[in-house]
A and B are shown apart, each in its own frame.
Chain A
Amino acid sequence: MGTTASQLGKDVLSEYQELTFLTKQEILLAHKRFAELLTKDEKDLPNIRVPVQRILTLPELKSNPFRRRICYVFSTSEHKDGSLTFEDFLDLLSAFSDSATLEIKSHYAFRIFDFDDDGTLDGGDLEQLVNCLTGETDDTRLTPEEMRQLISNILEESDIDKDGTVNLSEFQHVISRSPDFVSSFKIVL
């Protein structure tokens, strides 16, 4: 007693359960992991924000190419620095949890892929996305020609209204047919 479990009140816990797809154990675990990221004197403060650098030390996020985007998308910080509060952290885990619905998952996936935060996936976003997926090293990068071809193929497939970008509903249309999106869009603590 007295350490982490006591910090989460019973009613808060039940509210979190109501509001996320997480179970009680998962929330407690998340709380524990989150508390581990805090320094000693931060622990007593309510609603403390953990800066993005410290969040990224989590092994679950460490090798994810979208780790920064994920933090930025789930951060409620006004400075857009990607720092997370515990509630943001829970939001993140909830969206990536096993039982989250396809709609939630695809919504957040869209926001993660939307690198410039303009509400649509345009050519620039797609290019950045491809670069994320092919890794940092040069030998795995695609050539500009391949890149252009790939992006035009993607737009041809999924840009239904032909405005040159993929918007959320088009994105969800594509994603919802995919057999393995739900099973791979998962992060478990």
Chain B
Amino acid sequence: MPPKRKNEAAIKVEDVGMEVDVVSDSGSEDEARRRAKNRRAKPQRKSKPVSDHEEDEEDEEDEAPKKRVRKKKAKPRDSDEEDEEDNQSVKRKSSKASRKKIKEESDEEREEDREKRKKRGTVASKKEKEEHNKEKKGNVKGKQGKNMGGEKDKKKKNGKLSSSSSSSDSGDESLSEGEIAALKEQVEEKKKLITTLRNKPWRMKRRLVLLKEAQDFVEEFEGALGKGKGRKLYAFKVMMAKKLIKFKRDFDNFKTACIPWERKIKDVESHFGSSVASYFIFLRWMYGLNLVLFGFMFGLVVLPELLMGLPYGSIPRKTVPREEQDTAMDFSVLNDFEGFCKYSFLFYGYYNNERTIGVLKFRLPLSYLLVGVGIFGYSLMVVIRTMARNSNEGGDGAEEGEFTFSWKMFTSWDYLIGNPETADNKYASITTSFKESIVDEQENQKNENIHLRRFLRVLANLLITCTLGGSGYLIYFVVKRSQDFAKMEQDKLSWLEKNEVEFVMSLLGLVCPPLFETIAELEDYHPRIALKWQLGRIFALFLGNLYTFLFALFDEVNEKLETEKSIRNATEWALDQYYANYSSHFNTTDVPPPNVSPADVIRGPCWENAVGIGFVKLVVSDIQVSYLTILVGDFLRAVIVRFLNYCWCWDLEAGFPSYGEFDISGNVLGLVFNQGMIWMGAFYAPGLVGLNILRLLSSMYYQAWAVMCCNVPHARVFKASRSNNFYMGLLLLVLFLSVLPVVYTIMTLSPSFDCGPFSGQEKMYDVVMETIEQDLPSFLGNIFTYATNPGLILPAVLLMLLALYYLNAVSKGYQQANLDLKRKMKMARDEEKNRRNNKDSTNQVMKDLEDLLPNKSLIPPPIQEEPPPTDVVTGKGSKSPKVKPGAAAKGVNLQKDVSLAAQNPRAPVTHAPGPRRGHPGNARGPHPGPGRGRGRGGPPRRHES
């Protein structure tokens, strides 16, 4: 069979071509086409123009594979002349196109350097991909044996044609299926190429050409896939997939168009580098989060109550009491969130405890509780997800210090910097970091007085602890005093006395951080370490302040609970009296409720409102202080420095006051704690979320303006990426800390009897119980009671602990494996290094092997022949490693490979299909089984040439 032999030869050429060069490959391609043409001629000769024109017309627009199917099914009426012609033209076109493509590619390839091309290896060129494809195909059809080799080196359809025409009829049916599968595979491949094209570092022009090719290909052959009834479905699927892609892209465009403040952040970025911008990105992220929270709160709690609940003034909790009514709208009162504000929808007390409201039967109390808890759940989820994404994004953390120099070198420039001044600062900071890393700083410091330094550091920490303790006590003291003030007459108190708590807290937040910074001067840490300490201390300060505030608030709440109890008793008693009097007076048991105006009803202190007001006031004063600081500390300072500089004795711009720097860490911490207050307060003051939205919105514009107009770039430009997750970690911590008090109050304290959605309940979560009992089917209630049984919860907790333990162990195992791999890599490196240096292997085993093995002869030696070379080599072995030490080791490896490969042909030969047996010489020839063992076929051939 002549075609067979040809195939073998072609494979050889192709295999070599794959390894050696592109040009020879395209040569083999050409040859293949020529052969294919010959083949194509054959079927034409063979096939007789049988009629069946109707069907053909119907099939006219069908593509090749479909036709093939039909052809195979009805062998006698093979395809007629025209059809074949048509087919061929299509094929020729496509094959020409692909040839053009390949040429284009090879041109491009040459333009880039060779080495890179090789590196890119499998991903790289489409030519290679196609070859892979073919190989795969070959594997698929491996059963059919002989012809498949021929197919491999051909353009797809040519291959199909030829194989089917020249082959015996046995494999026909399955072949066609294989073809379709292969075509499908190829279409998929192209589709994948289209989607991944942007990931290739090629020129636009080349990518454009490739894209067009691939799109045309897909367009052309997509319709051909699938048979009979499945075709329509398939076409529909394809169409939908296209639509989906388009829609996705449009949606992405829309999404990016919706992201606000891109321009603003970009301006900041180019002016100050990515670190300052990271604050604004964080701010924007926070704004998004709060928008969602606001959506929950407003949509599910505030709006329903406003629209469907009772109007203002209808019940006591929605009415300003009589004695406050005169001053309810005064600004000074409103400013303290008393008066009208206190009885508005901004606070917890406004909401009614009716189970369902409006025509929709909206369960407001339940919704209130679920939203309050859901806010935490949602925030937690978002924060964790963002953290996970961030940590995936960056490098997966090689150990610190493994690549310090390289990272400093390759990744230290911030390409976003577009401002010459910032660039200069960056140059300077990079230089210092280089110098620092070269000359180890610790070495220098050892010469100085280490005892003095230690003493100073201890002293500094002592001072800071004192400051922290002092500020905590101050807050506690002030909150206590404010409770005393609250009992006195409101008119007698000055503004300062009324707002003492917020004032003191803001003042502490303002004064303490600079104080810490001054104290930290004593310690004389490296700036980066100093920054960490500073952050930690400010964090401790804020946290301490917040928690002292909370504890003081709890005292107040407990007090209020006491008074409430007495008031409640009093009202109940009064009510009883009224009923008793009424029934005895009118002698009837049908008593109408007392006719009292809602403004005059005696009411309890409503501790929830007090807590809510406390938080709102805190947030508002925080906003005021931070805005004022920016105005005075940055803007005023910048104005003074700028304009007084003309008439001053020293250079203000370069000297003492100079312009402010943007304090990233302080601002981020401020934002994080602000969010913490929002989380804590939102449950008792639903309006707080809305207030926060306004705050974030305004501070975005305000701070962006301030930073652009009055701040100068940092002297030390830090980069942002790592700290991004650091911010998130802080946020997570604060979230956790703010969940605690809220959940505590929900679970333990009993709600006020006359205000808020839970009034009348023993505990707030009773709302859930009530809903379960009354509104859900009873079996669900049963399930719930079972689920809350400690007997079930404990095992669940245990299970989680076990899972935690297991995952921990697994991660430890991975770490260990990682370490092992690293060690191996290092060993290999050392080995390589040694070999380079000594030209002699250090490994004894390898040395022995080198002595034993004939590293010169690369032919697979038959196993019986093994002993003789050892004799021969004893002389050579000592010589050849010196000549080419690298090759010696390789020789050993190759030897192993080859001996493996040498065994290979034997097994397959016994299974080889009929025709192969006809040519036994082939199988036993110098190339053992060229069709398979492609990778291993390499070495012997190289030896041959």
Tell me, yes or no, whether A38 is within 8 Å of chain B by CB. no
Q: A18-B197, A149-B438, A182-B394 are in contact. Are A25 and B415 (CB under 8 A)?
A: no
B residues 388-409 in Cβ contact with A at 8 Å? 393-398, 402-407, 409
Spot the interface stretch: B52-60, B62-70, B425-433.
B425-433
Cβ-defined contact, A23 with B403, below 8 A: no
| Chain A residues closer than 8 Å to B207, beta-carbon distance | 19
- Residue pair A160, B409 in contact (C-beta under 8 Å): no
Closest residue of chain B to A154 (Cβ to Cβ) is B405
A153 lies within 8 A of chain B by Cβ: yes
Q: Is B594 an interface residue (CB 8 A)?
A: no
CB pair B416 A186 closer than 8 Å: yes
Cβ–Cβ < 8 Å partners of B441 in chain A: none
**Contacts of B428 on A, CB cut-off 8 Å?**
135, 140
What is the bound-complex CA distance between A134 and B716, given in angstroms? 14
Contact of B204 among A19, A108, A158 (CB under 8 A): A19
Q: Are A183 and B430 in contact (CB under 8 A)?
A: no
When distances are taken between beta carbons in the complex, the residues of chain B under 8 Å from A142 are 431, 434-435
**Which A residue sits closest to B830, measured CB to CB?**
A162
Stretch at the interface among B251-259, B342-350, B854-862: B251-259
Please pick, from A107, A134, A154, A185, the residue contacting B201 in the complex, using a CB distance under 8 A. A107
Contact between B406 and A154 (Cβ–Cβ < 8 Å)?
yes
- A/B interface sample: 25 pairs, CB < 8 A: A15-B208, A18-B197, A19-B211, A23-B253, A60-B418, A63-B417, A63-B418, A63-B419, A63-B420, A63-B422, A64-B415, A101-B199, A153-B405, A157-B403, A157-B404, A167-B115, A168-B119, A169-B119, A177-B396, A178-B403, A179-B395, A180-B721, A181-B395, A182-B393, A188-B266
A18 and B198 in contact, given A133-B413, A162-B829 (Cβ under 8 angstroms):
yes
| CB neighbours of A20 from chain B (8 A) | 198
Residues of B within 8 A of A188 (CB): 266, 269, 416
CA distance A69 to B416 in the complex (A): 16
Task: Decide yes or no: A184 and B411 within 8 Å by CB, A63-B419, A162-B832 being known contacts.
Answer: yes
Q: Decide if B412 is an interface residue (CB 8 Å cutoff).
A: yes
> Are A76 and B203 neighbours in the complex by a CB distance under 8 Å?
yes
Q: Is A53 an interface residue (CB 8 A)?
A: no
A186 and B431 within 8 A (CB): no
Chain A neighbourhood of B646, CB < 8 A = none
User: Quick check: is A32 within 8 A (CB to CB) of the other chain?
Assistant: no
With CB as the reference atom, state the residue of chain B lying closest to A168. Answer: B119
Bound Cα distance from A95 to B306, whole angstroms? 52
User: Number of residues in B with C-beta < 8 Å to the partner?
Assistant: 69
* Chain B hits for A63, CB < 8 A: 417-420, 422-423
User: A interface vs B, CB < 8 Å?
Assistant: 14-15, 17-21, 23-26, 59-66, 76, 87-88, 90-91, 94-96, 101, 103-104, 107-109, 113, 118-119, 126, 129-130, 133-135, 137, 140-142, 146, 149-150, 153-154, 157-158, 160-162, 167-169, 171, 174-188
Q: Do most interface residues of chain B lie in helix, strand or loop, or is the interface mixed?
A: helix
A18 to B215, CA, bound (A): 11
Query: Quick check: B253 and A24 within 8 Å, CB to CB?
Result: yes
**A19, B721: Cβ atoms closer than 8 Å:** no
| B-chain residues with CB within 8 Å of residue A18 when the two chains form the complex | 194, 197-198, 211
Residues of chain A within 8 A of B203, CB atoms compared: 76, 87-88, 91
Q: Which A residue sits closest to B202, measured CB to CB?
A: A91
Would B438 and A146 count as touching, CB distance under 8 A?
yes
- Cα distance, A147 to B269, chains bound together (Å): 31
Cβ A157 vs Cβ B257 within 8 A: no
Contact B416 A134 (CB under 8 A): no
Which of A90, A101, A154, A178 meets B411, CB within 8 Å? A178
Choice from B113, B420, B829 contacting A119 with Cβ under 8 Å: B113
- Asked if A183 and B405 make an inter-chain contact with CB atoms under 8 angstroms apart, the answer reads no
Return chain A residues, CB-CB under 8 Å to B405. Answer: 150, 153-154, 157
Residues of A within 8 A of B199 (CB): 101, 103-104
Complex CA–CA separation, A169 to B403 (angstroms):
15
CB 8 Å contact bits of B894-905 with A (1 = contact, 0 = none): 000000000000
B446 at the interface (CB under 8 A from A): no
Known contacts: A134-B431, A179-B397. The answer to whether A59 contacts B270 by CB under 8 A is yes
Q: A174 vs B119: C-alpha distance in the bound complex, in angstroms?
A: 16
B435 touches A146 (CB 8 A): yes
Asked if B887 lies at the interface with its beta carbon under 8 angstroms from chain A, I say no
Residue B93, interface by CB 8 Å: no
CB B15 to nearest CB in A, in angstroms, measures 25
Cβ–Cβ contact B410 & A113, under 8 A: yes
In the complex, the chain B residue whose C-beta lies closest to that of A163 is B836
A60-B270 contact given A142-B431, A175-B410, A177-B395, CB 8 Å threshold = yes
Residue of B nearest to A66 (CB): B413
Contact, CB under 8 Å: B409 / A126: yes
Q: How many A-B residue pairs have CB under 8 A?
A: 200
- Check: B81 CB closer than 8 A to any chain A CB: no
B249: interface (CB < 8 Å): yes
Determine whether the beta carbon of B201 is less than 8 Å from that of A104.
yes
Which residues on B sit within 8 Å (CB–CB) of A134? 427, 430-431, 434
| Known pairs A176-B395, A186-B274 / 16 extra A-B pairs, C-beta < 8 Å | A18-B211, A19-B198, A63-B422, A64-B415, A64-B417, A65-B423, A87-B208, A113-B410, A118-B113, A177-B397, A178-B403, A178-B407, A180-B394, A183-B720, A184-B274, A185-B411
| Interface hits, B466-480 → A, CB 8 Å | none
Q: B100-135 toward A: CB 8 Å interface, digit per residue (1/0)?
A: 000000000000010110010000000000000000
Q: Is B661 an interface residue (CB 8 A)?
A: no
Query: A179 CB to closest chain B CB, in angstroms?
Result: 4
- A160→B253 contact, CB < 8 A: no
B911 contacts A by Cβ under 8 Å: no
Contact of A153 among B116, B398, B438, B720 (CB under 8 A): B438
Q: With A104-B201, A119-B115, A185-B415 given, is the CB distance from A174 to B256 under 8 Å?
A: no
Nearest-Cβ distance from residue A104 to partner chain B, whole angstroms: 6
Take A23-B252, A88-B204, A146-B434 as given contacts and tell me if A180 and B411 are in contact as well, using a CB distance cutoff of 8 Å. Answer: yes
Partner of A161, one of B270, B414, B832: B832
Q: B406 near A158 (CB under 8 angstroms)?
A: yes
Of B204, B253, B266, B397, chain A has the most CB atoms within 10 Å of the CB of B204
Chain B residues with CB under 8 Å of A25's CB are 253, 256-257
Q: Give the Cβ gap from B237 to chain A, nearest Cβ, in Å.
A: 21
Residues on B with C-beta less than 8 A from A101 are 199
Bitwise, B420-454 to A at CB < 8 A (1) or not (0) is 10111001101100110110000000000000000
A119, B120: Cα distance in complex, Å = 13
Report how far A118 CA is from B115 CA in the complex, Å. Answer: 10
Residue on B with the closest CB to A78? B111
Assess the B198–A87 pair: CB atoms within 8 A: no
B833 contacts partner chain A, Cβ-Cβ < 8 Å: yes
Separation of A167 and B119 alpha carbons in the complex (Å): 10
**Of all chain B residues, which has the CB nearest A62?**
B418
B932 contacts chain A at the CB level, 8 A cutoff: no
Chain B, 147-175, CB within 8 A of any chain A CB: none
Q: Which of B253, B422, B431 has the most CB of A within 10 A?
A: B431
Contact of B416 among A76, A150, A184 (CB under 8 A): A184
Residues of B within 8 A of A186 (CB): 274, 415-416
Interchain CB contact (< 8 A) of A183 among B119, B253, B274, B836: B274
The answer on a CB contact under 8 Å between A179 and B208 is no
Q: Which residues of chain A have C-beta atoms less than 8 A from B46's C-beta?
A: none
Contacts of B492 in A (CB 8 A): none
Q: Which of A18, A59, A108 has the most CB of B within 10 A?
A: A18
Contacts of A94 in B (CB 8 A): 198
Compute how far the CA of A47 lies from the CA of B299 in the bound complex, rounded to whole angstroms: 54
* Bound form: Cα–Cα A82–B412 in Å: 25
A181, B394: Cα distance in complex, Å = 8
265-282 of chain B: CB within 8 A of chain A: 266, 269-270, 274
Given contacts A103-B199, A168-B119, contact A17 B249 (CB under 8 A): yes
Q: Measured between alpha carbons, how far is A107 from B931 in the docked complex, in Å?
A: 36
On whether the beta carbons of B198 and A21 are closer than 8 Å, the reply is yes
User: Which residues in B have their C-beta under 8 angstroms from that of A154?
Assistant: 405-406, 409
Residue of A nearest to B413 (CB): A133
